[in-house]
Amino acid sequence: MKILTFSTLFPNKAQPHHGVFVENRLRHLIDHTDVSAKVIAPVPWFPSSASVFGDYATFAKVPKSDRRFGLDVTYPRYPLIPKIGMNLTPSLMYRAVRPLVARLLREEPDFDLIDAHYFYPDGVAAAYIAKAVNKPFTITARGTDLNLIPNYPTPRRLIIEAAEQADGLITVCQALKDELVKMGIDGQRVEVLRNGVDLELFQPQDREAAKQKFSVDGTVLLSVGHLIERKGHNLIIEALPQIPDATLLIAGIGPEDAALRDLAKSLGLADRVRFLGAIPHQEMSQLYSAADVLVLASSREGWANVLLETMASGTPAAATNVWGAPEVITTAAAGALIHERTPDSIAGTVLSVLKNPPAREATRAHAELFSWQATSQGQYDLFQSILERRG
C-alpha cells in the first residue's frame, strides 16, 4: 500500500520540531506495516529569510524537498494572505499542490490513498485534490483545527463538507471526536487513534545528573511549549510564589518571550525562572527527567504529546483539564488534573503531586500503555478497509 501524506504539520530543516507528531505517526506506520509513503508538506510562500520578518522568514528557509528518516518530503509553496486570506487558503493550497500531485500520479506505482492531517486548511485542500484525481482520502484532526477554527463560519462549513466527503475520519482523542459529532458528523465514521510515545527515546534518566546538566537543584518544575498565551506559561509563573523553593524551567521559543521575562522580574522571581529556549528533541528526555513535575497550563490541546513524553521519562504531570488531557491523566501515577486555569489552582495541584509523588516506575508503566503499535494497526486497518470498499 502506498499513501500520500498531506499536511502543513511536518518538520523541516528550518523548523525541526514542527509537527513531529505527524512524522512519528507516519514513521511507526511504515515501520510496522507494508505501507510506503511520500509526503507533501505545503509551506507559505515568503520572499525573504531576513530575521527581521520573524516567523515569516522561517518559511523562506524551508528547502524545496528533503529526506527525513527515509521519507521523501516535498515542500511546495502556496500563497498566504495575512489576516484576510483564511477563507481562501484551502483553494490556494490546492492550486499550488495540484501539479505536484499530477506528477506523482504518473509514477509507477502511483499512490493509493491520501492521508491528510489537520482539518483546515489541509483537510479541505486534500478533499479538493482527492476529488480531482479520484483517490480516497482520510483526515486526522489534531486540536485547534476542531476546537478553534470552526468558530469561523466559512471554515466551519468547509470542514463539515470535507468531513462528509472523506472516506475515513480520525481524531487523536475522544474529545475531538465529540466535537465532530456536535458538528453533525456521524460518530460511527470517526476513529479515535491516539498518538503514542517513543518509549526508546524517552526513558527515565538519573534525576540528579539531569539536574546538574541544567544547573538546577531542589524542586524543579518544567513548562514546555511555544511561548504563546494559549500555553499559559504566565499562569505557571504567577503560581510560583505559592510553591516554596521551586525553580521553574521553561523550554520553548515564541512571541511572548520578553513579556514572560518581564513578568518573572516584576514578581521578584527572576532567579527562580529559567528560560532555556529551544531544546533539541533528543535532549528532551533528560530535561523531563530533571523535573519533579511537568506543568501544562494550556487553554486548548488536542492530544498533548509532552504529557506522554514526560511520563515515559518517569516524571508526572499537572495539566489543565481540557480536551485530551483527562484521557492521558487517568491515575495518580500519571499526575493530576488542574480543574481551574488559575495560578491558585495550578499551585494547589502541583503541591499535591509534590506531596505524594508517584514512583517513577509507576509513571513510566502508565506511559507504556500508549505505545504506537495499536495506533499504527488501527490506521492500517482503516486504510485497508477503504481500499477494499473502493475496489
Q: Give per-residue pLDDT as tens, 248-257.
A: 999 999 899 9
CATH number of 2-196+371-390: 3.40.50.2000
What is the rounded distance in angstroms from the CA atom of residue 292 to the CA atom of residue 197?
20
With cell 531542589, the residue in question is 218
Closest Cα partner for 178 from 21, 327, 26, 23?
327
What is the rounded distance in angstroms from the CA atom of residue 366 to the CA atom of residue 277?
29
Do residues 12 and 59 make contact, with C-beta atoms less than 8 angstroms apart? no
219 backbone φψ class: left, alpha, beta (φ>0; ψ -120 to 50): beta
Q: Give residue limits of the domains in the chain.
A: 2-196+371-390, 207-367
**∠ at Cα 278 (6, 296), nearest 5°?**
80
Query: pLDDT per residue over 293-310, tens digit each?
Result: 999 999 887 778 899 999
Q: Where are the alpha helices (DSSP H) in the chain?
A: 20-32, 55-61, 89-105, 124-133, 144-147, 153-165, 174-182, 207-213, 233-239, 257-266, 284-290, 305-312, 325-328, 343-355, 360-367, 373-390
Q: How many CA atoms lie within 13 A of 197 on its CB side?
A: 26
With cell 529551544, the residue in question is 278
Residue 238 CB contacts under 8 Å (≥ 6 apart), including other chains:
263, 267, 343
With cell 516584576, the residue in question is 266
pTM tops 0.75: yes
What is the rounded distance in angstroms from the CA atom of residue 167 to the CA atom of residue 189?
9
pLDDT exceeds 90 at position 143: no
Classify domain 207-367 at the CATH class level: alpha beta
Average pLDDT over residues 45-63: 83
Do residues 74 and 64 make contact, with C-beta atoms less than 8 angstroms apart? yes
Do residues 355 and 331 make contact, with C-beta atoms less than 8 angstroms apart? no
Range with the poorest average pLDDT among 13-27, 30-44, 57-71, 329-343: 13-27
Average pLDDT over residues 4-14: 88
According to DSSP, the residues that pair with 5 across neighbouring strands are 39, 115
- Secondary structure percentages of the chain, helix, strand, coil, to 5: 45, 15, 40
- Same topology, domains 2-196+371-390 and 207-367? Answer is yes
With cell 505545503, the residue in question is 42
The chain-wide mean pLDDT, for the chain, equals: 92
φ/ψ (deg, to 5) at 38: -120, 155
Query: pLDDT per residue over 28-38, tens digit each?
Result: 899 989 999 99
Which has more pLDDT, 263 or 325? 263
